[in-house]
């Protein structure tokens, strides 16, 4: 056995056979033990351009958690930290299997999300590629750390498998936690299905580490619907992986741990109340949000755009949705088309940055926009209304909205489209709010009250 | 236009509601269609309410979650209606207009007049199908009730075939990759003990499926393209 192999096994020993690779048979243990990391060591680095745009793919029928695992397998991840919370636990457990197989260099279970997010910051600041996943209350518990990542310019990919966070508490899908991430300065994607989960994580690492971006990326999906259900995922061969993180390419220098005393915080808190302090904070935050803007070109390059649009050109009604609501909307579009309604669908992939220009162009002619959501507050409807204000006369129906784990019957979306076009009040208007366009003031007032 | 049926199956624990929906779903995929299932139940125990939501189509299915407004409802056990053993009350809640209610019962049930009126208002078609009786007659046990219902619904939707249903029964009982829960595994072993060979178990189940299929055809419930299934030789008693 070579020295190199022994050294590696010291920091990455064979784990529990249940969560790791099979334990060696006793006969093998004495002499020629099979290297559990053999396959991982044979992985070849390819360019992101080849991996995303050219490499042949094969289709598999897997869960969203497995899709995340397969994305991380090909992402050359250095450090992954787990802390369990439903419906995410299985995802990070599967990343642990990757660690056992040698695809992830370091992996451990944190004590809780505050610690995990702080350790993610430490890892990223030290210059390695970091991944974690959490959900619902875990996201909010870790939010102090998460909200500090963009300002410290830390490339990290974090996955959020959204679930209920508010009382009465439930473990069911509800994506209200996305609203809390939108103003942190991180890039936020919303995956519709298992394929998106896979693609967005891989692209997330690449975009996150671009020199003119250097920001964390949050990949959100609706828990259970995506994490626990199976779907078709087209994947590149597992013998390929992304190039490693080149930390020197980042917008800020990494932590200098070789020249003590190391400064744990790259920039000490600006606590003096003077114009310099205000200025430092201002330019720093302006630069964070400018970096969010600069990520647009990479999202276009590696993910094929911030949104996808189908049949929007001549549509009188357009459904705008993200995540699982987009999946429900596809069926609503089919039913509406059967009823003879000219209808289009826009799926928003990137919530930060938001596809403002794209929506202004696409929604110029639409008479009606319907925004179905899996949360109470309607964060996407507000984003859409803000983006197209002054550029479209469409009536915007923010809804239907379901939350607390309820499924979204596609019939509710169809109802909103029909009532929006005919003016006839829909039976479920309580689950939606009307804003913008030529609507009566009472309806608008209802929306104004709701924000 | 896509052929699309959203099916809500309601039954009680031990009847194979979830197993039945797996078999129908797999059979539709074997026949070249698309299908998804969402099982829904609480603690796994005999006679506790179980629901399973199955979408079948000849086009891709994107939407997810429970089915609130089904085209078809299947009632596996009369107690779903009489005792309210269901997550959905009344049993026809959300049934679309001109929808179908396939009910496992020997002949028409007397429903409360309000329920009958509401069913009439949405022009629901009530198909009373003696699935348990058929299972006892053909297979000599009531545990193939779900198979009878799946044969029947296969013919009604016209999106699968008896051969494809047979293939999915084989996948279910001979396949290596199928993972079941503890309760279902225990029931599987009960079923398996009743038959000397697994092949006999499969033959009996397929015979019940075929009987259910033909029952639907003979009563004029089946899709217009569906014919009686005669191909298979009758199995020995």
pLDDT band with cut points at 50, 70 and 90 for residue A26: low
Give me the helix-helix angle, B17-30 and B162-174, nearest 10°. Answer: 120
Between the CA atoms of B217, B222, B227 and B232, what dihedral angle is there, to the nearest 10 degrees?
-60
Residue B226 placed within a domain: no
B17 sits in which H/E element: helix B17-30
Residue A292, CA distances (Å) to A206, A213, A282, B213 in order: 14, 7, 15, 59
Q: How far is A190 from chain B (nearest CA, A)?
A: 16
Give me the helix-helix angle, B162-174 and B145-157, nearest 10°. Answer: 140
Query: Worst-scoring range by mean pLDDT, A3-17, A319-333, B37-51, B113-127?
Result: A3-17
Q: How many CB atoms are closer than 10 A to CB B141?
A: 16
Say what the pLDDT of residue A42 is: 96
Query: Worst-scoring range by mean pLDDT, A4-18, A245-259, A351-365?
Result: A4-18
Residue B183 placed within a domain: yes
Alpha-carbon distance of B131 to B147, in angstroms, equals 8
Q: State the Cα angle at A279 between A275 and A283, rounded to 5°.
A: 175
Residue B190 placed within a domain: yes
Closest by Cα among A335, A342, A344, A359 to A312: A344
pTM score of the predicted model: 0.86
| Residue of B39, B55, B59, B63 best to disrupt the A interface, most CBs of A under 10 A | B63
Q: Which domains does chain A have, with CATH numbers?
A: 11-23+32-248 (3.40.50.970), 309-450 (3.40.50.920)
Q: Say whether pLDDT at A262 is over 90.
A: no
| Chain A contact set for B68 (CB, 8 A) | 407, 409, 411
The reply to whether residue B63 touches residue A338, judged by beta carbons under 8 angstroms, is no
How large is the average pLDDT for residues A25-38? 70
For residue A57, give the 3-state DSSP assignment. Answer: strand
Asked if the interface predicted TM-score (ipTM) of this complex is over 0.85, the answer is: no
Interface of B with A (CB under 8 A): 1-2, 59, 61-69
Say what the pLDDT of residue A16 is: 47
Residue B112 placed within a domain: yes
Residue B229 placed within a domain: no
Q: CB under 8 Å to B134, separation ≥6 — which residues?
A: B148, B208, B211, B212, B215
Say what the pLDDT of residue B105 is: 97
Assess A328–B contact: CB distance below 8 Å, yes or no: yes
Alpha-carbon distance of A238 to A201, in angstroms, equals 15
Alpha-carbon distance of A174 to A116, in angstroms, equals 23
Between the CA atoms of B96, B100, B105 and B107, what dihedral angle is there, to the nearest 10 degrees?
120
- DSSP secondary structure string, A209-248? TSTTT---EEEEEETTTTTTSEEEEEEE-TTEEPPPP-GG
The reply to whether residue B68 touches residue A334, judged by beta carbons under 8 angstroms, is no
| Residue of B1, B2, B64 best to disrupt the A interface, most CBs of A under 10 A | B64
Residue B228 placed within a domain: no
Q: How many CB atoms are closer than 10 A to CB B225?
A: 8
Q: CB–CB of A161/A87 below 8 Å?
A: yes
Residue A246, CA distances (Å) to A48, A257, B166 in order: 14, 17, 56
A316 sits in which H/E element: none
Residue A324, CA distances (Å) to A137, A312, A373 in order: 20, 20, 8
The reply to whether residue A324 touches residue B64, judged by beta carbons under 8 angstroms, is yes
Q: What is the 8-class DSSP label of residue A195? A: H
The reply to whether residue B69 touches residue A328, judged by beta carbons under 8 angstroms, is no
- How many folded domains does chain B comprise? 1
Assess A225–B contact: CB distance below 8 Å, yes or no: yes
Q: What is the 8-class DSSP label of residue B43? A: S
How large is the average pLDDT for residues B100-126? 95
The reply to whether residue A331 touches residue B68, judged by beta carbons under 8 angstroms, is no
Assess A324–B contact: CB distance below 8 Å, yes or no: yes
pLDDT band with cut points at 50, 70 and 90 for residue A254: confident
Chains A, B: CB contacts under 8 A, how many?
30
| Chain A contact set for B57 (CB, 8 A) | none
Q: How far is B75 from chain A (nearest CA, A)?
A: 21
Closest by Cα among A142, A119, A140 to A130: A119
Alpha-carbon distance of A201 to A303, in angstroms, equals 11
Task: State percent of chain B over pLDDT 70.
Answer: 95
- Mean pLDDT score of chain A, rounded to an integer? 88
Residue A185, by phi and psi: left (phi above 0), alpha (psi -120 to 50) or beta?
left
The reply to whether residue B65 touches residue A225, judged by beta carbons under 8 angstroms, is yes
Say what the pLDDT of residue A8 is: 40
| Residue of A329, A333, A407 best to disrupt the B interface, most CBs of B under 10 A | A407
Q: Say whether pLDDT at A178 is over 70.
A: yes
User: What are B10-41's pLDDT values in tens digits?
Assistant: 999 999 999 999 999 999 999 999 999 988 88
Q: CB–CB of B34/B50 below 8 Å?
A: no
Q: How far is A420 from chain B (nearest CA, A)?
A: 21
Residue B237 placed within a domain: no
Closest by Cα among A96, A118, A117 to A105: A96
Between the CA atoms of A164, A170, A173 and A174, what dihedral angle is there, to the nearest 10 degrees?
-30
- For the ranges A203-207, A276-280, B90-94, B198-202, the one whose mean pLDDT is highest: A203-207
The reply to whether residue B1 touches residue A338, judged by beta carbons under 8 angstroms, is yes
| Chain A contact set for B62 (CB, 8 A) | 327-328, 330-331
- Mean pLDDT score of chain B, rounded to an integer? 90
| Chain A contact set for B61 (CB, 8 A) | 331
pLDDT band with cut points at 50, 70 and 90 for residue B197: confident
Kindly provide the b/e burial profile for residues A10-38, where b requires at least 16 CB atoms within 10 angstroms of the residue's own CB.
eebeebeeeebbeeeeeeeeeeeeeebbe
Q: Which residues pair with A309 in a beta bridge?
A: A346
Residue B134: give the domain boundaries: 4-218
Q: CB–CB of A435/A380 below 8 Å?
A: no
pLDDT band with cut points at 50, 70 and 90 for residue A279: confident
Task: State percent of chain B over pLDDT 90.
Answer: 74
CATH of the domain at B143: 3.40.920.10
Distance of CA B131 to the CA centre of its chain: 10
Kindly report the length of chain A: 451
| Chain A contact set for B59 (CB, 8 A) | 334
Q: Say whether pLDDT at A4 is over 50.
A: no
Q: How far is A191 from chain B (nearest CA, A)?
A: 14
User: What are A395-407's pLDDT values in tens digits?
Assistant: 899 889 999 988 8
Say what the pLDDT of residue A3 is: 44
A338 sits in which H/E element: helix A324-338
For residue A187, give the 3-state DSSP assignment. Answer: strand
Closest residue, chain A, to B1 (C-alpha): A338
Dihedral sign of CA atoms A190, A193, A197, A200 in order: negative
Q: State the Cα angle at A343 between A395 and A319, rounded to 5°.
A: 55
Q: Please report how many Cα atoms fall inside a 13 Å half-sphere around the Cα of residue A103, on the Cβ side.
A: 24
| Chain B contact set for A229 (CB, 8 A) | 64
Closest CB to A330: pick one of B1, B62, B66: B62
The reply to whether residue B63 touches residue A411, judged by beta carbons under 8 angstroms, is no
Residue B223 placed within a domain: no
Closest by Cα among A191, A184, A199 to A222: A191
Say what the pLDDT of residue B172 is: 86
The reply to whether residue A334 touches residue B2, judged by beta carbons under 8 angstroms, is yes
Q: Say whether pLDDT at B211 is over 90.
A: yes
């Amino acid at each position: 056995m070579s020295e190199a192999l022994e050294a590696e096994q010291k920091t990455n020993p064979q784990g529990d056979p249940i969560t790791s690779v099979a334990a060696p048979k006793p006969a093998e243990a004495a002499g020629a033990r099979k290297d559990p990391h053999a396959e991982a060591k044979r992985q070849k680095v390819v360019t992101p351009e080849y991996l995303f745009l050219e490499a042949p793919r094969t289709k598999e029928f897997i869960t969203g958690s497995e899709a995340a695992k397969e994305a991380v397998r090909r992402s050359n991840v250095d450090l992954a930290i787990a802390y369990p919370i439903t419906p995410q636990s299985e995802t990070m457990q599967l990343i642990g299997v990757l660690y056992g197989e040698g695809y992830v260099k370091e992996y451990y279970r944190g004590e809780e999300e505050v610690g995990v997010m702080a350790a993610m910051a430490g890892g990223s600041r030290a210059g390695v590629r970091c991944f974690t996943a959490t959900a619902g209350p875990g996201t909010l518990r870790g939010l102090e750390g998460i909200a500090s990542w963009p300002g410290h310019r830390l490339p990290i990919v974090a996955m959020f498998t959204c679930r209920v966070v508010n009382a009465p508490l439930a473990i069911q899908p509800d994506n209200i936690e996305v609203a809390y991430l939108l103003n942190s300065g991180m890039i936020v994607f919303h995956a519709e299905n298992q394929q998106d989960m896979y693609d967005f994580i891989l692209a997330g690492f690449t975009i996150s580490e671009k020199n003119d971006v250097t920001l964390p990326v949050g990949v959100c999906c609706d828990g259970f619907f995506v994490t626990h259900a199976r779907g078709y995922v087209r994947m590149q061969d597992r013998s390929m992986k992304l190039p490693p993180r080149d930390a020197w390419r980042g917008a800020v220098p990494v932590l200098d741990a070789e020249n003590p005393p190391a400064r744990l915080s790259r920039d000490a808190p600006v606590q003096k109340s003077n114009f310099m302090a205000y200025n430092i904070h201002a330019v720093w935050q302006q630069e964070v949000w400018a970096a969010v803007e600069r990520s647009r070109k990479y999202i276009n390059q590696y993910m094929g755009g911030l949104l996808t649009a189908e049949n929007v050109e001549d549509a009188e009604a357009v459904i705008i949705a993200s995540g699982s609501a987009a999946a429900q909307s596809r069926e609503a579009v089919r039913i509406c088309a059967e009823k003879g309604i000219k209808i289009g669908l826009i799926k928003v992939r990137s919530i930060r940055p938001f596809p403002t220009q794209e929506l202004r162009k696409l929604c110029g002619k639409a008479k009606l926009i319907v925004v179905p959501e899996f949360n109470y507050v309607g964060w996407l409807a507000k984003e859409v209304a803000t983006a197209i204000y002054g550029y479209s006369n469409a009536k915007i129906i923010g809804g239907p909205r379901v939350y607390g784990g309820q499924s979204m019957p596609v019939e509710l979306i169809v109802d909103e489209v029909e009532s929006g076009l005919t003016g006839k009040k829909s039976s479920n208007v309580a689950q939606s709010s009307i804003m913008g366009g030529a609507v009566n003031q009472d309806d608008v007032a209802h929306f104004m009250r709701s924000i | 236009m896509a052929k699309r049926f959203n099916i809500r199956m309601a039954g009680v624990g031990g009847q194979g509601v979830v197993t039945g929906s797996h078999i129908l779903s797999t059979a539709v995929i074997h026949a070249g269609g698309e299908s998804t299932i969402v099982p829904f139940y609480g603690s796994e125990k005999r006679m506790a309410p179980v629901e399973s939501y199955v979408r079948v189509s000849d086009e891709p299915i994107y939407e997810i979650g429970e089915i609130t407004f089904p085209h078809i409802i299947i009632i596996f056990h009369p107690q779903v209606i009489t005792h309210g053993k269901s997550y959905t009350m009344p049993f026809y809640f959300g049934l679309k207009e001109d929808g179908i209610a396939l009910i496992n019962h020997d002949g028409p049930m007397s429903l409360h007049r309000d329920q009958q009126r509401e069913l009439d208002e949405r022009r629901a078609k009530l198909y009373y199908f003696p699935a348990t009786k058929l299972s006892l007659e053909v297979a000599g046990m009531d545990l193939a009730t779900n198979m009878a219902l799946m044969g029947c619904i296969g013919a009604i939707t016209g999106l699968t075939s008896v051969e494809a249903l047979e293939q999915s029964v084989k996948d279910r009982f001979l396949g290596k990759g199928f993972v079941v829960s503890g309760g279902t595994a225990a029931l599987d072993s009960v079923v398996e003990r009743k038959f000397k060979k697994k092949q006999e178990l499969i033959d009996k189940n397929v015979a019940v499926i075929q009987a259910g299929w033909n029952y639907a055809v003979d009563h004029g419930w089946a899709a217009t393209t569906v014919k009686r299934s005669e191909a298979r030789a009758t199995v020995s008693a």
